[in-house]
Amino acid sequence: QVQLAESGGGSVQTGGSLRLSCAHSPDPTSPRCLAWFRQRPGQFREGVAAKCTGAQNTYYADFVKGRFTISRDIPKNMLYLQMNNLEPEDTATYYCAAGRYTYTTPAALTSINYNDWGQGTQVTVSS
């Protein structure tokens, strides 16, 4: 089981930036995906970005539109999400998660394939 803890959420205005961080326990197992998901008020949890070892692939949801960048610092056991040009529609609780295996799209951005989750961090974007 991978333990994860997010930080870096907050309140910004439209067009602002935030960098989310996720500290996770050491993960010596075979290739798997680490990902960011978000849950907007009244909505289902949706995949934002995933970074998958093995094939070394990175996946983004269409709504990211080149605004977000996922990165990973393996020696430090950290996962990041740099979010630029934020919009009010990005207001949500953001979660990092560890998948059971490594995946390709669309599985890499599908929450059912992830079994370990952080507690979430709130991002609020005002207009």
Q: Give tens-digit pLDDT for 56-79.
A: 689 999 999 799 999 999 889 999
pLDDT at residue number 56: 65
Closest CA to 27 of 80, 72, 82: 72
Strands laid side by side in the 18-24 sheet: 4-7, 18-24, 78-83, 68-73
12, β-bridge pairs: 125
CB atoms within 10 A of CB 88: 11
Check whether 28 has a pLDDT greater than 70. Answer: no
Distance CA 12, CA 90 (A): 11
Mean pLDDT of the chain: 93
Report whether pLDDT(90) > 90: yes
pLDDT value at residue 29:
67
